[in-house]
Amino acid sequence: MTANDPRRQLLLELLRAALAAVDGRACTRQALAARLPAAHLDATRYQVAALGKAAASMALGAGDVLGARLERTLILTKDGHVDAAAAALPGVEIHESGHPVPDARSLSSGARLLEFIEQLPPAVRPIFLVSGGASSLVEALIPEADLETLQRLNRAGLTSGASIEALNAERRRISRIKGGRLVAPLAGRAALALFISDVPNDDPAVIGSGVLGPAPQGPDDVERIVIASIDGAIRAVRARATGFKVSVAAGRFTQEAERLAVRFAHELHLGREPVRVWGGESVVRLPPHPGRGGRNQHLALAAARLIAGQDELLLLAAGTDGTDGVSDSAGALVDGETCARIALAGLDVDSCLRRADSGTALAAAGDLIDTGPTGTNVGDLVIGLRLSQRDAQAWLDESRAAH
């Protein structure tokens, strides 16, 4: 598949539409504008703490609405996920830390978050902006645990392919702030928390390991609103794919990547709809020394084996945050010739999958998707396409004429 294949362009256009629909800045701006009084009616002062991969983008959205009412901004995010414009926010303080494995900076970020709450002036209303990734990026541990304990737990969760629910339960067990425990330092103070969800059921008790979830006990005056999720991204794909029948999977996927690849390839092969969309998060059991890649690349490469030689079938799998595992690529877009291109590069697909080295194979095929940090994080998006190049080009021509 060449870069100018109209089907590739079509799939990437659908991905761009999905990301725009759940953009952290836009969704935060819209939610706050609808929730707070207009500036000329509101003398309240605000301080904002933003946590997670989309923290900088969400903080910018808050700044768009609050303007001069915003006194201080704390951004706790992943390395490389800071929008340059965030440096101009009022009283801004930015801390980057490790993901998917936490590091010493994650503990420093947790300490700064607790200090932020302790230092809140009485008349100020706090706003918390939470997105996926906060589990690793921000932490404060119980006395019985240390950084080595935390890192061992996260590494074990990653290599075992444990579900996010199981991993978060273990994180909460050793945390002073997860599982709603961060609410206690607020001591009943009214607060607003906005969430971009990357978890099943969009539950604030699970997002970021429940860092701003309901308090397990004691007073809780935090208003919680989920402002973006994978459902919004999927709706955007359906809306953008005008003129095509679109099949949307019921529920979110959570299974192993290779099993999902079998399911998705099967549904794509047998289905009559040109476009099929799935959302969720797969898991991968990693070998002792994994190679390059992430769960979306693993899923895409496994699917490439199953659609090999089928010219009209393509599949895109991408992390909506713009990264995939320890890779800087968001995912991959594969077609019926992906495996042939990998073989021509002297690589073996089965061997790469066994070694969790899907990124190396997909890079050789020219099939990686590189978006950079996207300013959101609603989990993973998979889009399947069953279409000829001619029909895809007709769609692109009509779309461009309309815009």
Q: What percent of the chain has pLDDT over 70?
A: 98
pTM for this prediction: 0.95
- For 71, other C-beta atoms within 10 Å of its C-beta total 15
Q: pLDDT digit string (tens) for 42-73? A: 999 999 999 999 999 999 999 999 999 999 99
Q: Once rounded to an integer, what is the mean pLDDT over residues 227-232? A: 98
Per-residue pLDDT at 303 exceeds 80:
yes
On the question of pLDDT at 279 being above 70, the answer is yes
Q: Which two tokens stand for residue 168?
A: 């978060």
pLDDT at 1: 55
The DSSP code sequence of 169-196 is HHHHHTBSSTTTGGGGGGTT--EEEEEE
Tell me the sheet residues that pair with 51.
76, 130
What are the pLDDT digits (tens) for 342-373?
A: 999 999 999 999 999 999 999 999 999 999 99
Provide the pLDDT for residue 91.
Answer: 97
Q: Say which CATH architecture domain 23-228 belongs to.
A: 3-Layer(aba) Sandwich (3.40)
Which residue carries 């103070």 as its tokens? 189
Which residue, among 92, 331, 51, has the nearest Cα to 196 in the 3D structure?
51
Burial of 145 (0-12, 13-18, 19+ CB in 10 A): middle
Q: CATH assignment of 6-20+231-402? A: 3.40.1480.10
Looking at residues 377-382, what average pLDDT do you find? Answer: 98
Tokens describing residue 26: 């836009």
Angstrom distance (rounded) from CA 7 to CA 307: 15
Domain limits, CATH 3.40.50.10180, in the chain: 23-228
- Kindly state the average pLDDT of the residues 223-248: 97
**The predicted structure's pLDDT at residue 156:** 82
pLDDT digits (tens, 9 = 90+) for 81-140: 999 999 999 999 999 999 989 999 999 999 999 999 999 999 999 999 999 999 999 999
Q: Where does CATH 3.40.1480.10 sit in the chain?
A: 6-20+231-402
pLDDT tops 90 at residue 325:
no
148: its two tokens: 């080595």
- pLDDT of res. 218: 87
The mean of the pLDDT values for the chain is 95
